[in-house]
Amino acid sequence: MAKNSLGREIPETFNGKRYMPYKDPHAIVPETFHFQRASRMLKRNYSGASKVVGGLREAIIASGLKDGMTISTHHHLRNGDRLLNDLVKEIDALGIRDIRIAASSVHIVHAELIPYIKKGVITALECGVNGPIGEQISKGEIKCPIVVRSHGGRARSVISGEVPIDVAFLAAPFCDEYGNFNGFYGPSACGSLGYALVDAQYARKVVAVTDNLVAFPALPIGVPQNIVDIVATVDSLGDPKKIVSSTTKLTKDPMGLQIAQYAAMVIDSSGYLKNGFSFQTGTGGISLAVAGHVRDMMRERKIKGSFGCGGITGFFVDMLEEGLFEGLFDVQCFDLKAVESIGRNRKHQEMSAGLYANPFNMGAVVNRLDCAILSATEIDVNFNVNVNTESSGLLLHNTGGHCDVANGAKVSIIVCPSIRGRLPMVRDEVTTITTPGETVGVLVTERGIAVNDHLPELKAELIRRRAPVKDIRQLHDEIYAVTGAPKAVEFTDEVVGLIEYLDGTIIDTVRTVRA
Amino acid sequence: MADSQLRRTLLFVPGNMPSMLQNVPLFKCDSVIIDLEDAVNHAEKDAARNLVRRFLENWKDRNKEVLVRINPLYTKWGRDDLKAILPERPDAIRFPMCETPELALELDAELAAYERANGLEVGHFGILPSIETVKSVLNAYAIATSTKRIFGLAFGAEDYTASMGVARTNSGEDLIHPRMMIVMAAKAAGIQAIDSVFSDVNDMEALKKETELVKRIGYTGKCLVNPRQIDVIHEAFAPKREEIDYALEVVEAIKQARQMGTGVISLKGKMVDAPIVKRAVNTLRVAFAQGLVATPIDEEILNG
Amino acid sequence: MEIIKKGVAGTMQSSDLMVFVEPADTLRLEIESTVIKQFGHLIRAKADEVLAKNGVTAGFIRLTDRGALDYAIEARIETALQRASAA
């Protein structure tokens, strides 16, 4: 065990691999470590014949998957995904064991995998999870070492070969028999395939799995035939109703609206809200309310923004079509309107997770962001943010792009209610650090705005505008005066998971909760 | 006497709902009216009374005016409400169904008795009567002048239209007459006129129109039931840029005149007298609250 | 204060709690809460304080809490006690 720079105890090795403790956001320079791009064997295909081998089982056999290998899937089908569950069932039926899952994310629907973890079919997770799997891991009810990565961090780990993917099984909503595919059309259309694009480039074997085999060529090409080994067909990739399910509704909660209004004030005071403005926000009710304010200000002042980024909603599509942005960078579509837009509008650009947020390249899109709205399950008085665990100590959420965007954007704004069900959200220490405080610009709660020390001009401007600027410790004390001081959740010494920072260093661990 | 309290928005908050009640310190309204009357079921009057009492007891740093709407004194709850609430020192009582000056005096006597018994200055607690029936509209001036505790008249349109036997509309022509009667009674008595709630929470455009209308005829505040309406009402009551500029000029002129020791002041050839100064000060007070001027107005300017 | 019959107060809304009171030979307090791990100790302390303040020495008191703050805990217990002791 060693302490990282944020005071968290980090094991030197985990599940047989060595890790470095987190130091600071710029500590790891790939050149000095001689990091290389992963390589895969060159292949030659003499044939122009169909690559369709049959269903999932035939594809698994054809891929050469064996005990101890690593597979990946993408999470563009989100909670409507059937592929990962069906895949693991087939892998089990074929008697293959000790598989590592390196999906781009795992959702609540994948709770079906729990029996296969117990059975030894799945023995490690090289990805963060949402929902019951993480909950049971942090309760110690199932054993499965887990390394949680951000979107950018995962792209980095695949591109650098730190997490070598043996076979990528990529859901392909619109696919031809020779392996060209995109995500724009078909019954399982999900729009952007941003997370899958990295796997398609770097996995040793690439299997396109489709429920919608179309006549050659499947255009426009998202993933091209020259990097796809196998095509498999299935009845259904998932439940379309749950694939692009985000309810893009503005919050009606008065406190949420208050937070949104303050956040808009922060953006307005940042100095970036002018021609060329770039912006990212999520799908939560508060985030959308902020986006609403931003749209109104841009309209009113006739501002032409540069780009909107991230997971894309219909709200951003409307802003694009209204001429408020030059374009959209889309790593993942959140609703049907976004799916429909990316399929026809060339200014709505599909973006790979590597282009979006991989820190080890010649510049990710997040580096060009002015303002970004991010959420938190907790934040501490040093601005460190938790999005992985809740105050209960349970691992319930994946990182998403949180630390990538916080690090890239010029002003990263955390929006968070000050209290959730009596639990204070501004803590002395967060349960788990996902994103280091030094990369966080501003915290906005309904009780006030706290500005980090590295943005003194923004702070002065907010004070000038009579915004309720408070020291983060003052905010903390005010909240505790309302809620009382909660007892800390107790953890055992057993490390069941790592929280990896985007550069591959370990920023925190997950330990089992003491019953 | 008209006090200088800014009351653009008076937000009703149900007395038996902790999730709303504990957000009271955070709402950006000028005043809050914690409701023990219509928002509370008959069976829960006791529970609401306890809850509001404990809430007020625990709310140390009050940052807005606090009114409690009690049940009418002729109900079996009214006096118990007062008994529970007065020890927690609300600023005023919102007094429903105040149809006659006698009813106002009855509450006045209750409050005075409590004040005397507890060493408070008589007149400590204010009264904001609800003018919400035809009868109370006709008695508005008599009610307004019945006791010095009354700092405003609050129109209650819902009950009023019921007492008239008509339906309330968003356009509001059914309310023209009572609105005029009430604002005239209030102004004649030198107190504030406060308009009724606008209940369609989803029609912000109509709320804005209604607020602009009542502002034009002399109302300075409005009650509301949903915090989402606060900003719309504040914006509607905010003075226009020209009004602010003129008010600043008036204040500047009077400052200079005072420095030079002149009594009579003129601005651009027009005489500036006391009512004009008073209006300028009011304009700037609202403008500051709305963030339209950077510094608060020094009210001493009024006294010279 | 003597508990002579059953009494209930509160709601199941968030930030509220329900209090169930009934006669018993001894004093027994049972607490269920969405934040029991973090705030169980404070909820219990508040409940004990309110029971003592009201001179309750016997009765079965049950709290089902949805993240209520201290003022609400106090008010709901008071109301349930008043309802359980009123003739």
pLDDT exceeds 90 at position B301: no
CA distance B285 to B296: 7
Is A483 at the interface with chain C, CB within 8 A?
yes
Put simply, the answer to whether C37 touches A392 (Cβ < 8 Å) is yes
B176 and B27 belong to one structural domain: yes
Which are the contacts of C68, defined by CB distance < 8 A and separation ≥ 6? A422, B18, C15, C16, C17, C76
CA distance A244 to A201: 25
Instruction: Look up residue B90 and give its amino acid.
Output: P
pLDDT exceeds 50 at position B300: yes
- pLDDT tens for A132-149 read 999 999 999 999 999 999
Among the partner residues B26, B226, B291, nearest to A258 by beta-carbon distance: B26
Q: Please indicate, yes or no, if residue B1 is contained in any of the structural domains.
A: no
Is C9 at the interface with chain B, CB within 8 A?
yes
Question: Given CA atoms B84, B86, B89, B92 in this order, what sign does their dihedral have?
Answer: positive
B181 and B231 belong to one structural domain: yes
- pLDDT tens for A222-245 read 999 999 999 999 999 998 888 876
CB A114 within 8 A of CB A136: yes
Element housing A18 (H / E)? strand A17-18
Instruction: Look up residue C27 and give its amino acid.
Output: L
**How many C-beta neighbours within 10 Å does residue B165 have?**
7
Give B226's contacts in chain A (Cβ within 8 Å).
Answer: 254
CA distance A15 to A478: 42
**How many C-beta neighbours within 10 Å does residue A514 have?**
11
CA distance B14 to A513: 40
Domain boundary among B220, B237, B254: B237
Q: Please indicate, yes or no, if residue B4 is contained in any of the structural domains.
A: no
B42 and B171 belong to one structural domain: yes
Is C69 at the interface with chain B, CB within 8 A?
yes
CA distance B85 to B52: 8
Percent of chain B with pLDDT over 90: 69
B199 and B253 belong to one structural domain: no
Put simply, the answer to whether A447 touches B26 (Cβ < 8 Å) is yes
Give B22's contacts in chain C (Cβ within 8 Å).
Answer: 15, 69, 71-72
Give C68's contacts in chain B (Cβ within 8 Å).
Answer: 18
Give A483's contacts in chain C (Cβ within 8 Å).
Answer: 39, 69
CB A372 within 8 A of CB A413: yes
Is B206 at the interface with chain C, CB within 8 A?
no
Among the partner residues A254, A466, A482, nearest to B227 by beta-carbon distance: A254
Put simply, the answer to whether A423 touches C35 (Cβ < 8 Å) is yes
pLDDT of residue B264: 66
Q: Please indicate, yes or no, if residue B140 is contained in any of the structural domains.
A: yes
B200 and B80 belong to one structural domain: yes
CA distance B36 to B39: 6
**Residue A389 distance to chain C (closest CA, Å):** 15
**Residue C78 distance to chain B (closest CA, Å):** 7
CA distance B50 to C71: 9
Is C75 at the interface with chain B, CB within 8 A?
yes
pLDDT of residue B144: 98
- pLDDT tens for B17-60 read 999 999 999 999 999 999 999 999 999 999 999 999 999 999 98
A354-393 residues touching C, CB cutoff 8 A: 391-392
Is A470 at the interface with chain B, CB within 8 A?
no
Is C66 at the interface with chain B, CB within 8 A?
no
| ipTM value for the complex | 0.97
Given the candidates 3.40.50.720, 3.40.190.120, 3.30.2350.10, 3.30.230.10, the CATH classification of the domain at C7-85 is 3.30.230.10
Q: What domains appear along chain A, each with residue ranges and CATH number?
A: 254-491 (3.40.1080.10)
**Residue A257 distance to chain B (closest CA, Å):** 8
CA distance B74 to B78: 7
B122 and B33 belong to one structural domain: yes
CB A412 within 8 A of CB A464: no
| Count of helices and strands (H, E) across chain A | 16, 29
For chain C, helix, strand, coil in percent to 5 are 40, 30, 35
**How many C-beta neighbours within 10 Å does residue B42 have?**
9
B159 and B274 belong to one structural domain: no
Dump the DSSP string for A447-511: TEEEE-TT-HHHHHHHHHTT--B--HHHHHHHHHHHH-PPPPPPEEEEEEEEEE-TTS-EEEEEE
By C-alpha distance, the chain B residue nearest A252 is: B228
What phi and psi, each to the nearest 5 degrees, are found at residue A442? -140, 140
Instruction: Look up residue A492 and give its amino acid.
Output: T
Per CB distance under 8 Å, which residues of C are interface residues toward A? 14-15, 34-35, 37-42, 66-70
Burial class (CB in 10 A: 0-12, 13-18, 19+), B198: buried
**Residue C20 distance to chain A (closest CA, Å):** 21
Give B1's pLDDT tier (boundaries 50, 70, 90). very low
By C-alpha distance, the chain B residue nearest A251 is: B228
Is A446 at the interface with chain B, CB within 8 A?
yes
Which are the contacts of B232, defined by CB distance < 8 A and separation ≥ 6? B204, B207, B208, B211
Higher-pLDDT residue of A471 and B262 is A471
pLDDT of residue A277: 98
B91 and B132 belong to one structural domain: yes
pLDDT of residue A250: 77
Put simply, the answer to whether B17 touches C13 (Cβ < 8 Å) is yes
B265 and B222 belong to one structural domain: no
Among the partner residues C15, C16, C79, nearest to B50 by beta-carbon distance: C79
End-to-end CA distance of chain B: 20
Put simply, the answer to whether B51 touches C69 (Cβ < 8 Å) is no
pLDDT of residue A410: 98
- pLDDT tens for A472-481 read 999 999 999 9
Mutate to test the interface with A, among B228, B229, B290 (most CBs of A within 10 A): B228
Burial class (CB in 10 A: 0-12, 13-18, 19+), C12: exposed
**How many C-beta neighbours within 10 Å does residue A17 have?**
14
Q: Once rounded to an integer, what is the mean pLDDT over residues C15-20?
A: 98
Domain extent at residue B298: 241-302
Beta bridge partners of A371: A279, A411
Put simply, the answer to whether B228 touches A257 (Cβ < 8 Å) is yes
B172 and B66 belong to one structural domain: yes
Q: Please indicate, yes or no, if residue B3 is contained in any of the structural domains.
A: no
Tokens found for residue A230 = 């196998």
pLDDT of residue B263: 64
- pLDDT tens for A29-62 read 998 888 889 888 899 999 999 999 999 999 999 9
- pLDDT tens for A48-57 read 999 999 999 9
Closest CA to B51 of C31, C73, C55, C63: C73
**Residue C14 distance to chain A (closest CA, Å):** 7
CA distance B38 to A510: 51
Put simply, the answer to whether C75 touches B46 (Cβ < 8 Å) is no
pTM exceeding 0.80: yes
Closest CA to B274 of B304, B252, B298: B304
Put simply, the answer to whether B46 touches C70 (Cβ < 8 Å) is no
B38 and B90 belong to one structural domain: yes
Whole-number average pLDDT of chain A: 96
Which residue blocks in A64-169 are alpha helix, DSSP H? 83-93, 114-118, 132-138, 151-159
pLDDT of residue B277: 83
Q: Please indicate, yes or no, if residue B201 is contained in any of the structural domains.
A: yes
What phi and psi, each to the nearest 5 degrees, are found at residue B148? -70, -10
Mutate to test the interface with A, among C17, C37, C71 (most CBs of A within 10 A): C37
Among the partner residues C13, C15, C79, nearest to B46 by beta-carbon distance: C79
Domain boundary among B214, B237, B260: B237
The residue extents of the domains of chain C are 7-85
pLDDT exceeds 70 at position A247: no
CA distances for A105 relative to A101, A130, A166, A366, B7, angstroms = 10, 8, 17, 20, 52
pLDDT of residue A241: 85
Whole-number average pLDDT of chain B: 92
- pLDDT tens for B123-152 read 999 999 999 999 999 999 999 999 999 999
- pLDDT tens for B173-199 read 789 999 999 999 999 999 999 999 998
The angle formed by the CA atoms of residues C20, C42 and C46, to the nearest 5 degrees, is 50
Which are the contacts of A310, defined by CB distance < 8 A and separation ≥ 6? A280, A281, A282, A329, A330, A331, A332, A356, A372, A401, A405
The CATH number assigned to the domain holding B21 equals 3.20.20.60
pLDDT exceeds 70 at position C11: yes
Put simply, the answer to whether A258 touches B28 (Cβ < 8 Å) is yes
Put simply, the answer to whether A489 touches C37 (Cβ < 8 Å) is yes
B209 and B67 belong to one structural domain: yes
pLDDT of residue A431: 96
Q: Once rounded to an integer, what is the mean pLDDT over residues A244-265?
A: 86
Give A431's contacts in chain C (Cβ within 8 Å).
Answer: none
What is the number of domains present in chain B?
Answer: 2
pLDDT of residue B280: 87
User: In this structure, what DSSP letter does residue A111 have?
Assistant: G
pLDDT of residue B261: 72
Is C14 at the interface with chain B, CB within 8 A?
yes
What phi and psi, each to the nearest 5 degrees, are found at residue B140? -55, -45
By C-alpha distance, the chain C residue nearest A420 is: C67
Pick from A171-185, A385-399, A432-446, B155-169: least confident: B155-169
Give B4's pLDDT tier (boundaries 50, 70, 90). confident
Is B26 at the interface with chain A, CB within 8 A?
yes
Domain boundary among B180, B203, B237: B237
Q: Which chains touch B (3 or more CB pairs under 8 A)?
A: A, C
CA distances for A242 relative to A75, A76, A169, A188, A193, angstroms = 12, 11, 20, 10, 17
User: In this structure, what DSSP letter does residue A12 have?
Assistant: S
Element housing B153 (H / E)? strand B152-155
Which are the contacts of A124, defined by CB distance < 8 A and separation ≥ 6? A15, A100, A101, A144, A145, A146
pLDDT of residue B2: 47
pLDDT exceeds 60 at position B75: yes
Put simply, the answer to whether A465 touches B291 (Cβ < 8 Å) is yes
Mutate to test the interface with B, among A252, A258, A269 (most CBs of B within 10 A): A258
Beta bridge partners of B95: B129
B43-102 residues touching C, CB cutoff 8 A: 46-47, 50-51, 53-55, 57-58
Q: Please indicate, yes or no, if residue B56 is contained in any of the structural domains.
A: yes
